[in-house]
Amino acid sequence: MSDLSAFAITRRWPALHPDRLQLYSLPTPNGVKVSIMLEEIGLPYEPHAIDIGKNETWTPEFLSLNPNGKIPAIIDPDGPGGKPISLFESGAILQYLAEKTGKLLPADPARRIETIQWVHFQMAAIGPMFGQLGFFHKFAGREYEDKRPLQRYVDESKRLLRVLESRLDGRRWIMGEAYSIADVALLGWVRNLIGFYGAGELVEYDRLKAVPAWLERGLARPAVQRGLEIPKRPG
């Protein structure tokens, strides 16, 4: 049995199955990337719900795993060389799991790096811009009298959606016929933009064709449906 006692986070969130990958997360657009990935590849794991509403990511135990205080993060008891490894940043975790299992990442070097670039596109552009739009449209930012910040993020989100629309035109998935970590990275954020954030009308989502069709295909995948609910939100 694996010994994870060296990881301080396991003292607050004990591992009942220390031989399994440990996931510390919540079903947010970033969090579900990893739960969807784990469901897609079938790697045994144990989820731990981190209550961001109670600032649990800023506890010493969580910060020992991710000093940036954000979910998701993982511990893999069977890391490189068979030694435990911890990781944070959802994009890095997706790439690690894909390389570990040989799934959802093309073996061809050119296709591999092309896939990774679309993961970085999500990390660098889609996530930050959609997240800011959500803040200014749905949360505290909507109370600001100055509407210029909201309009900035609306305009940029519309532009990014059209980058996706162009990429998906004539393609089933981001990389063509092959579903990959690029799709896993993007699905939760597009879903959140038009669902939880309620910003579909703002970004003229109904004028798109390829993106909505891609999102519908993605959300129909059983692994995606399961991953979107893992871990269960704290009651």
Q: Region 79-83: what's the mean pLDDT? A: 96
Please state, rounded to an integer, the average pLDDT across all residues of the chain. 96
49 strand-pairing partners: 25
Is position 142 within any domain? yes
Q: Is the pLDDT of residue 216 over 70?
A: yes
Q: Quick check: 11 and 61 in contact, CB under 8 A?
A: yes
Q: Round to whole Å and give the CA distance between 40 and 114.
A: 20
Do 105 and 84 form a contact (C-beta atoms < 8 A)?
no
- Same domain membership, residue 141 and residue 98: no
Question: Quick count: other Cβ atoms within 10 Å of Cβ 134?
Answer: 21
Residues 133 and 217 reside in one and the same domain: yes
* 53, 121: one domain: no
In this structure, is residue 4 part of a structural domain? no
What confidence tier does 52 reach under pLDDT thresholds 50, 70, 90? very high
Average pLDDT over residues 131-149: 88
Domain region containing 83:
9-103
- Both 62 and 15 in one domain: the answer is yes
What's the average model confidence in pLDDT over 29-56? 97
Say if residue 127 is in the same domain as residue 78.
no
Integer angstrom CA distances of residue 71 from 24, 50, 66, 209, 231:
7, 8, 8, 32, 12
Give a yes or no: residue 226 inside a domain: no
Sign (positive or negative) of CA dihedral 25, 27, 31, 35: positive
Residue ending a domain, among 85, 103, 121, is 103
Q: Which of 61, 81, 103 is the last residue of a domain?
A: 103
**Domain annotation covers residue 235:** no
CATH number of the domain enclosing 134:
1.20.1050.10
Domain of residue 96, CATH code: 3.40.30.10
Cα gap 18→14, rounded to integer Å: 9
Where b means 16+ CB within 10 Å and e means fewer, 178-197 reads bbbbbbbbbbbbbbbbbeeb
The answer to whether residues 114 and 204 belong to one domain is yes
User: Does one domain contain both 38 and 130?
Assistant: no
The model's pTM is 0.96
Dihedral over Cα of 165, 171, 176, 181: its sign: positive
pLDDT tens-digit profile of 117-130? 999 999 999 999 99
- Shared domain check, 113 and 99: no
Residues 119 and 211 occupy one common structural domain: yes
Q: How many domains does the chain have?
A: 2
pLDDT band per the 50, 70, 90 thresholds, residue 2? confident
Return the structure tokens found at 8.
């301080």
- Whether residue 160 is contained in a domain is answered as yes
Last residue of a domain, one of 60, 82, 103: 103
Report DSSP letters for 65-80, one per residue.
T-TT--S-EEEETT-G
Mean pLDDT of the 209-216 span: 98
pLDDT classification of 1: cutoffs 50, 70, 90: low
Task: Determine phi and psi for 97, rounding to 5 degrees.
Answer: -65, -35
Domain assignment present for 227: no
Domain contains 169: yes
